[in-house]
Amino acid sequence: MSRPCRAPGCTAVTSSPYSPYCPIHRARLRRHGAVNQKGITKTDLKPYLKLVQRRIEKNLNSHLWGHLEQRWGTVTTHARGLLAAYQRGQAMARHERIAASEVAKLADHVAAQEVIRTALAMFVMLDQQPRRFPTDPGFRAQLVRRVRRLTEVNVGTWYDHDSGKVKKVYKDLSPRATAVMGKWLAQAFGGAGGQLARLEQRDFEAKQQEQQAYRQALLDLT
């Protein structure tokens, strides 16, 4: 027997007697990490990528970038180790193996710096637009999606008979594999992303104070 969907504000019925959500919210939970999480697009992330790039250019001699490459290297080494163990016949959870395979594909096709910039931009966006990420699982799912979109290895194609064109379709991971990969990325880049977000907030507040002082100086003219 179907029941009302448990997603806030939804009046549809559940997709099955065993699911708490309607088909739309069930699909959103699987694809985006939460029933109230909307996808973060390349356009959404673009201004935060620019912020990160400017911060990198202001600190070209910082050792942080090398440390972050090492941290990404640690993630990829761990992933390749899991895949090698699986090839030797070691039992492991399927979602962990899939997450390891995705990390290995990224390492093979995308420069470490690009992965790092994208991950840092996501954390800056999280700080500046927290309402876009109602839950931690939702944020991590979007983090994984944006990083995976850096390579077209994860993109399939299909022929649209109506338009007569070949179109691309994004291959989603299972929620469990997404959670594993999201955890690895958050552990590797969350600290640095949080620090960059704090620096952006500091600079914004300094600029606001400067503008306030300017306006006050105008008012003080006699």
Are residue 4 and residue 93 in the same domain, yes or no?
A: no
Read off the pLDDT of residues 32-73 as tens digits, 9 standing for 90 and up.
888 889 999 999 999 999 999 999 999 999 999 999 999 999
Are residue 119 and residue 151 in the same domain, yes or no?
A: yes
* Residue 23 domain-assigned (yes or no): yes
Are residue 5 and residue 96 in the same domain, yes or no?
A: no
Are residue 14 and residue 91 in the same domain, yes or no?
A: no
* Residue 212 domain-assigned (yes or no): yes
* Residue 7 domain-assigned (yes or no): yes
Residue 77 sits in which domain range? 41-156+169-219
Are residue 25 and residue 53 in the same domain, yes or no?
A: no
Non-local (6+) Cβ contacts of 148 within 8 A are 102, 106, 154, 173
Are residue 189 and residue 206 in the same domain, yes or no?
A: yes
The residue among 28, 8, 37, 29 whose CA lies nearest residue 131 is 37
Name the domain count of the chain.
Answer: 2
Are residue 88 and residue 183 in the same domain, yes or no?
A: yes
Are residue 13 and residue 95 in the same domain, yes or no?
A: no
* Residue 161 domain-assigned (yes or no): no
* Residue 163 domain-assigned (yes or no): no
Residue 71 CA to residue 141 CA, distance in Å, equals 20
Are residue 92 and residue 22 in the same domain, yes or no?
A: no
* Residue 109 domain-assigned (yes or no): yes
Are residue 57 and residue 28 in the same domain, yes or no?
A: no
Name the 3-class secondary structure at 157. strand
* Residue 179 domain-assigned (yes or no): yes
Q: How confident is the model at residue 166 (pLDDT cuts 50, 70, 90)?
A: low
* Residue 164 domain-assigned (yes or no): no
Read off the pLDDT of residues 70-109 as tens digits, 9 standing for 90 and up.
999 999 999 999 999 999 999 999 999 999 999 999 999 9
Q: What is the pLDDT of residue 18?
A: 81
Residue 8 pLDDT > 90, yes or no? no
Are residue 85 and residue 115 in the same domain, yes or no?
A: yes
Are residue 95 and residue 194 in the same domain, yes or no?
A: yes
Q: Which residues of 6-41 are buried (b: 16+ CB within 10 A; e: fewer)?
A: ebeebeeebbeeebbbbeebbebbbbbbbbbbeebe
